Amino acid sequence: MPAANRQLNTFFKCNIKVIIFTLFLFHSKANAQLLGGSIHGNIQIDGQYYLTDTLIGAPDVPEHFLSNGFANFIYERSNFSAGLRYENYTNPILGFDSRYKGNGIPYRFLDYKNEELQVTVGNFYDQFGSGIVFRTYEERGLGLDNAMDGLRLKYNPVKGVYFKGIIGYQRDFFSKGEGIVRGADLEWNINESLRCLDSCKTKFILGGNFVSKFQDDQDPVYILPKNVGSGSGRLSIIHGNLTLTGEYAYKANDPSSSNDFIYKDGSATIITATYSRKGFGFTLAGKRIDNMSFRSDRTATLTSLMINYLPAMTKNHTNILAALYPYATQPNGEYGAQAELFFNLKPHSLLGGNFGTDVTVNYSRAQAIDKVATGDEYGYTSDFFKTGDAIFYEDFNMEFNHKWNKKFRSILSYVYINYNKDVIEGRQGFGNVYSHIGIFETTWKINSKNSLRGELQHLYTEQDKQSWALLLLEFSVSPHWFVAGFDEYNYGNEIEAERYHYYTGTFGYTRGSNRIQLGYGRQRAGIFCVGGVCRNVPASNGFTLSVTSSF
Amino acid sequence: MKKILISIIVLVVTGFYACDKVDGPFKETVTVNDFCKTGIADSVIHKKVLVEDYTGHLCGNCPAAGVYLNDTLKQIYGHCLVVVSVHAGFFARVCPNSPCPGDQPAGSFLTDFRNPVGEGWNTFFGITGNPKGMVDRIGYPTGTHSKAYNAWAPAIAAEVSKAANASLEITNSYNSLNRSLSVTVKTDVINNLSGDYKLQVVLTEDSIIGWQEWYNHTPVYVPDYVHHHVLRDAINTQWGESIITGGAASGNSITKNYTYSLNNLWNPDYCNVVAFVYNATTYEVIQVEEMRVK
């Protein structure tokens, strides 16, 4: 019997109980009333059965089946709510940080609120302003969860004034970071206070915050600041369809693994302008980041214990090949800018056709800041208005979204990406990857129930692993069924033996708030590095199972 | 208005109390703590500390950890610090496998420093990324056991200040004719111990000249990098052997004897026997010792 078949038999024998259990969940209705309140929540289980694939370097997985799962349960009654999240990583699916291995209840909270006051004890997610000083959140796909575990107070003393105070530790997988995070934020919505929400044409929102972390200094080599403070001020002006927002943040000396233990202070500036009306809109945004990695443990790396969030000012591509070279903000220093223009070509105009065409043009660029090495513990100095030579990332893309008739809609996209592999992946010797991507997507609404969607994608580059092509087909039977498949083919690889097909097939069923999805496919390997630590996400080959349900 | 003022005062007070500014000096006056003798316990038995440095020759960020360990921490803690460099995982592969960069010099990165013992530890302890390391395996299994190299120093400082609950004495006898090594490890219980403990005995080789990828260094591909404390093999299997079951009273002594044949490619002049005792449940290392093969 071939090895793959043997593994498959083992899978069905060993995991039949899991499947029966999930199907039971799938059909259960869990709405409940308890003590006069209500319980709601959601469940998700993602599992993968792995097959060894020496061709693409997919390793042998001794457990054969790995899974990530969680369930949220929230109880609400009047002004009171309480909840918990059970998580299960037994063991974490490949690509996830192995420190998640295990299970437990890492998230639980009690919350009480009335018109003026809200108090939360336990875990919570929150952010001050745009989050460049403080933001706790979860990004399950990346395995990121830096939830606070402590106390939060929200206070609304008078109309238009909002105060927030937080103190606690941060989640670090199934434990907590050793640093204490405490902070306060004050926001003043001037128009709310002046009671001219509708009568005043221009609206102003002012805000400011301060966040500090405490971590003891037991280092026998460095004299480290035990308390590191950071704060920001922000202003939003809204005038009709135009919104202007700006925030400036400062961080005091914070030697850490992320900045190679320099004592320089840090800063971040973000300015955004957006305008939107029917059929037309634009966004202009700019930022400057300088030594702004802020974590509650100075030795934390990768995605652990981040206190702040530095947004990437680049388009978040959803098409597979356009997302092959994604950008991640460089907290040690970058200039970033993005402009996006959206407009609608009206029906019966030159290019509008019978139903009109939506056009989106987007350009973004991230570049080094100027740095002059000082040769001392401060590391470097930087002129605020000077850029460095290195381009980290550049993305120009255009998208035409056209409805041909009642049955056909197409999207045509072109994307150019200049990806600095050395900087973004934290490695050296690879240089920049220049890629041109073309995507053609069409949806055919066959009838009121059935639709077929196809995507043809091509990526051309002379660097890295050279060119790729992708074909995707998805057939949906509304509202319950879908089947999809795609093949990602690295046909241009200079090494002929490595011109692999990465194919995936999925099948799903949705009923109400329940969804089950089964798939089989191959996944590419990748490396990602943050703060001088690199992690390998291995290639994989196998069957996937995903169950989601809410109640 | 009063309520707004209170909110502002809270914000300002938070800001004032919670920020330390270090203007220099930036480094502690280094106190050398090399009060540990090698091999034979001195009149005061000290707690020695084991650092397992998980590394790979294709890990460009790893030399920074190695340099810090050998040039800074080893200088401070001397023989109180025992290092085992575990070449394991993705970045320890040999070329032309990924992550081999492709533009490396011909014939480079072909020496395989990996071995099943290190690979097994790397997987079991879930070492995520390189460079990472463990200090006496403290923190397992909460996830805090796998530490970035900047976190090793405070962990070592905390460990070295603990009382020694056991002492180890290694006696080696090497026969250069047949490359046979006889090892005797004597474990003395100093303070009463509860639980189960294992003795792990491994062989390391120092000063191996080989290729290493080294970021922020010229050249990036270093042909004559000196690899220190490289784990070669386990003398008494991957997880050692049980020496204490259910606890042991102060004064107890356990002696274990082993014989081992050195690989022809290893230089016995630079080989060391490293022995450590660890809690079989928590994996915490309670004592470690190192002794030259010759």
ipTM: 0.82
Helix (H) or strand (E) holding B259: strand B253-261
Q: What's the whole-number average pLDDT of chain B?
A: 90
> How many inter-chain contacts (A to B, CB under 8 Å) are there?
171
- The Cα–Cα gap between B246 and B279 comes to 11
Contact B18 A430 (CB under 8 A): no
- The Cα–Cα gap between B120 and B285 comes to 17
The predicted structure's pLDDT at residue A17: 45
Please name the residue of chain A whose CA is at the shortest distance from the CA of residue B129: A535
Contact B18 A229 (CB under 8 A): yes
Percentage of residues in chain B with pLDDT exceeding 70?
92
Contact B22 A224 (CB under 8 A): yes
Nearest by CB to residue B148, choosing from A97, A161, A533, is A533
| Interface test with chain B among A60, A94, A98, A169, by most B beta carbons within 10 Å | A98
Collapse the DSSP code of A404 into the 3-class scheme (helix H, G, I; strand E, B; otherwise coil) and give the result.
Answer: coil
The mean pLDDT value for B156-178 works out to 94
Instruction: Please report which residue ranges of chain B form alpha helices under DSSP H.
Output: 2-17, 62-67, 74-77, 116-124, 152-160
Phi and psi at residue A240, to the nearest 5°: 60, -125
Residue found by looking up tokens 């902070």 in the block:
A183
Nearest by CB to residue B19, choosing from A227, A256, A428, is A227
Please name the residue of chain B whose CA is at the shortest distance from the CA of residue A180: B18
Whether the per-residue pLDDT at B214 is higher than 90: the answer is: yes
Q: CB-based contacts of B173: which residues, under 8 Å, 6+ apart?
A: B181, B182, B183
CA atoms within 13 A on the CB side of B223: 5
Which 127-186 residues of chain A touch chain B by CB within 8 A? 155, 157-158, 161, 163, 165, 172-175, 182-186
The predicted structure's pLDDT at residue B28: 85
Helix (H) or strand (E) holding A26: helix A3-27
Please name the residue of chain A whose CA is at the shortest distance from the CA of residue B22: A225
Using only the alpha carbons of chain A, give its radius of gyration.
25
The nearest CA of chain B is from the CA of A519 a distance in Å of: 27
Contact A99 B99 (CB under 8 A): no
Contact B156 A220 (CB under 8 A): yes
B265-279 pLDDT tens trace: 999 999 999 999 999
The predicted structure's pLDDT at residue B16: 54
Contacts of B280-285 spanning 24+ positions with Cβ under 8 A:
B280/B195, B280/B196, B280/B197, B280/B198, B280/B242, B281/B195, B281/B196, B282/B137, B282/B140, B283/B137, B283/B140, B283/B141, B283/B145, B284/B136, B284/B137, B284/B138, B284/B140, B285/B50, B285/B136, B285/B137
The predicted structure's pLDDT at residue B42: 57
Comparison of pLDDT for B142 and A463, the residue scoring more: A463
- The Cα–Cα gap between A45 and A516 comes to 9
The nearest CA of chain A is from the CA of B143 a distance in Å of: 5
Helix (H) or strand (E) holding A136: none
Residue segments in chain A with a per-residue pLDDT below the cut of 70: 1-35, 527-535
Q: CB-based contacts of B44: which residues, under 8 Å, 6+ apart?
A: B35
Residue found by looking up tokens 């922000």 in the block:
A234
CA atoms within 13 A on the CB side of A281: 14
| Interface test with chain B among A87, A167, A427, A528, by most B beta carbons within 10 Å | A427
The mean pLDDT value for B190-206 works out to 97
Tell me which chain B residues have a C-beta less than 8 angstroms from the C-beta of A58: none
Contact B4 A158 (CB under 8 A): yes
Comparison of pLDDT for B252 and A533, the residue scoring more: B252
Please name the residue of chain A whose CA is at the shortest distance from the CA of residue B10: A184
Tell me which chain A residues have a C-beta less than 8 angstroms from the C-beta of B89: 536
| Category of B268 on φ-ψ map: left (φ > 0), alpha (ψ -120 to 50) or beta | alpha
Contact A533 B157 (CB under 8 A): no
The predicted structure's pLDDT at residue A328: 86
The predicted structure's pLDDT at residue B37: 62
The predicted structure's pLDDT at residue A140: 80
The predicted structure's pLDDT at residue B29: 83
- The Cα–Cα gap between B269 and A430 comes to 39
Contact A99 B60 (CB under 8 A): no
